[in-house]
Structure 1
């Protein structure tokens, strides 16, 4: 069982709930922290992808990649055991979520939603915070999110994620380009409360088998 401050957790949960509304897939989360699965995307048969199909694909990639990203930015919301910790660092709790027994399993999960190219370009900094235990001195609670110790994964309970207040306006989605396994779309980004324009986001998605994954994204602010 997790022993936590209810006030602190509620504040963090409110923060990441805002994140769920965020148009950036790397900043989209499942506020429960327990439903971060990455189901296969809808299968689109060969031929030209329609705008309606593009919206379906983009929304699905956005939701799945957001759920995956949530695990990276808010490890505190994973099921974990506060009574089992890393030597010298009581803030790292044993992950009891059966999907993530090791670093390898965690990274394999990330790769269900992101291509290797995306991971290298956008997530390498988060991967730097996922380390194997050698000694207590190499762990920085401010910079380390996950530690693998004695063959098991431990999560930093102090890292609770972050949020902002912009969302995608999916009604504005435009197809920029497409081929057999790549789809590039553009969508306007607006303020969540009054829908005031804030910028434009471009998503590049690649298909592997029947699954689309996020390959790149570019955000252009109007400010």
Structure 2
């Protein structure tokens, strides 16, 4: 597919990846293959929004191929991206790769996962990357965010949900993080790593205001503490 992208004109972007949808609707495709294809298609559609288009958007339409991604608006393509990430997560739990199969290539940030990730982890991490780019400020109060950053691991999930509920905030990003935390509830080290990513997300939005809370958190979690 990537070689085709290099050899063919830009307007064939979605035609070059049409095989992905063909494999997804093929009943003979394995669960592992479908999981991989869902992840690939999510990233393919997502990348189109950030791609420099050499031609008019209508040139990228595939009227004789469905779905016609080129004819969709941004909100419709975002919905497609979420669908593929959800399906990858749903199938990932039962798609068990062989010991010799390296699945890290399915992740765009494998080097940032500090534990051995399975397909479900990759699906969740990829969606988090997508939702982070779509999320504006969550409008939580500075005090709420400071409290969340310094909160203990055992009470963090409840505190986060309580803050979101009180502020009447629905966030695709935090929903995805919550799914990821629940998946690792029985693994303290992985769970605390995911919580750290959430806390860093909050800190990175307002580093000047939250520097004291972030420093306090780092001191509490330091092995030398």
> Normalised by the size of structure 1, how large is the TM-score?
0.30
**Higher RCO, 1 vs 2 (CA within 8 Å, ≥6 residues apart):** 1
Larger Rg belongs to: 2
